[in-house]
Amino acid sequence: MSTFFSEMMCLCLAVTTVLGGLVLCKLKKSPGQVGRKVICLVGVLGGLCLLSLSLFWSLILFSLSCFLMYIYLSYQELLPVDAKVVLITGGDSGIGHALSKYLDQLGFTVFVGVHNEKGSGAEELRRTCSKRLSVVQLDVTNPQQIKDAYSKVVEKVQNRGLWAVVNNAGILGYPIDGELIPMTDYKNCMAVNFFGAVEVTKAFLPLLRKSKGRLVNISSMAGVVPMVKLAAYGSSKAALSMFSAIMRQELSIWGIKVSVIQPGGFKTNILGTSEMRDKLEKDLLDHLTPDVLEDYGQDYILKQRNYFSSVNEYGHTDLTPVLLNIQHAISAKRPFTFYSPGSSAFPWLYFVSFGLTIIFDYFNKKFNFSVSDMPRALRMPNWKNKAM
């Protein structure tokens, strides 16, 4: 009996080793988030098995887990490029610019929509990328430019269809308390971040249906996590995330897969130039009513410039995690519904989704509000008595 048991143990150990090796081989081919998730899952399952079961049954269950993960990872393998055509919006700078270069290097045929086809970003793409990449004028708030871009893409793809649309174009506006944000900022954020993505999607869906391709929308952690100072931006990204979730269900019958990218804190040019920020600040001050300006104080408003320096200080400069996740969404046999590149993104998203609101609000208040940074009226010792 002991000999039989020993032989079974050796067999189980051999099977586990082989399956574990196969899973590791698959992991090497799995970009970014896929590999991290599987490694964490394997570690948790292995630990639970060893703690709760005998060695024999632990090996059995662990082998079964490795087999299932091998099947799962097989579906996560990337499809060949095969001259697939991808449209990217917002390619002047930031994520869209880096993604255009990255996909061009991988062999994709890339159409890059830019806000200014004569700008430095567009010129750099023409200079550094292959002839497969085409720069097209595409302001996502301009219906005629969307139609013109559609015509250029149709001319290229003809009956093949378009493989993927990446709605990346976005603006931030001026980050400050929601009461102070001008209505023009709210409308501009919705026009670019939401309505622009919707209109581009609607225009190019007939081409995606032909290829049974991919729709990838670049949202933000701010579209799920309620972040102070970002009422306009966060609301527009939340709308984009909900639109994506509905389209994912509706387009599944056509074979189109929809993914949402929700990056954490990465340093891009979405903050704009200092001249652009100065203009936004001036517009904000010009549109405030006297009573609101008195309560908040001009010194409080001017202090919000510190937000830009903090983003530049703590934002990640390496966009590789974002690019790998977008590549996976475009190329994987079965892409994920949501991607959260960035070290801070997933913990915050998980905490907001499953944690208690009162706890989130408490820590958020501790981190974001101090007496010295309070609006003018709140710094006055007799403010509460006046209010009563």
Any alpha helices (H) in 288-356, and if so which ranges? Answer: 290-296, 298-303, 306-314, 320-331, 345-354
- DSSP assignment, residue 253? G
Q: How far apart are CA 211 and CA 231, in angstroms?
A: 37
Cβ atoms 261, 326 nearer than 8 A = yes
Per the annotation, the verdict on 296 as an active-site residue is: no
Q: Are 203 and 87 in contact (CB under 8 A)?
A: no
The two structure tokens encoding residue 89: 């919006």
Backbone angles phi, psi at 302, to 5 degrees: -65, -25
Phi, psi of 189, rounded to the nearest 5 degrees: -65, -45
State the Cα–Cα distance between residues 324 and 48, nearest whole angstrom: 31
Let me know: does 55 contact 9? Beta carbons within 8 Å: yes
Catalytic residue among 102, 150, 174, 233: 233
Both tokens of 208, joined, read: 């995606």
Helix (H) or strand (E) holding 88: strand 85-88
Q: Quote the tokens at residue 121.
A: 């970003």
Q: Are 227 and 213 in contact (CB under 8 A)?
A: no
CA 178 remoteness from chain centre = 23
Q: Give the 3-state secondary structure of residue 219.
A: coil
Q: Is 228 helix (H, G, I), strand (E, B) or coil?
A: coil
The SS3 assignment for 380 reads coil
Q: Which sequence positions are flagged as catalytic? A: 233
